[in-house]
Structure 1
């Protein structure tokens, strides 16, 4: 997926401020085990550290901070779905934690997916989360810039398998 890298400290500071002010537009695609009840919605659940697990984050955990993610079901098959996600905040593991609140588990997610993230007929070697789109104001060029990339081959192969094997529900 997409990743933004600053070439110098001035640009880094300006981009960091845009992230802090929630001015950067981000869109992710996720393949999950589960189908949300609503075709689209907003997840507004605070996220903090899980005091028992150490590195793992959880909803309403220790020193929880506001976290908001919009979502939309793009397609669903049997018990799996392809979601479009728009994180409005940028918390650690935000998408993964928010997916759990929908009773959805990122395919291939060994940290948050548990058995549900592994319950797939094909081998899944990584978390099926893809940074598809990024939009921001370029600090030096003084213009809005947008970048979008295609799905990686492994995610597309899983979608192709689901399309061949199950009837699509949307």
Structure 2
């Protein structure tokens, strides 16, 4: 039922209905903020990312395709991409300053459930089952790339594995996830 309501609200948003967009915001902002906060780890930056994401959602609501996933999944990916852009931008600035090397890095590999970061409850069961079919290297690499926002090089450092292996794990893992989710 929630999925139908969110789909209706997004469809109306695509038609320029501000009241529908306001309702969509009310229904989804806490979950999207949780996604941003998980990636950025700073409340003010998370709020900024979510605000910018909602601007994109407003302007791109007509580009949503139901066959590619739920409304919330689509919106979360917009938030996630915005967060990753912010992280990359900050990393580039830090690299140019070259003063603080490694201060913002994540702790070494944490013993956490790879799906703890999922906020999208309607997608979690199927994605969780599909993630469990992956090899351990694929699981870790995908988790670090998509749920923690690390680059291939950062994943290489975190896992202590060669860059080619990390890229292969991500590519193969995503292919296997796609096949699993489509079945």
**TM-score over 0.5 for the pair:** no
Structure with more contact order per residue of length (Cα contacts < 8 Å, sep ≥ 6): 1
**More strand per residue:** 1
With the length of structure 1 as denominator, give the TM-score of the two structures.
Answer: 0.29
With the length of structure 2 as denominator, give the TM-score of the two structures.
Answer: 0.27
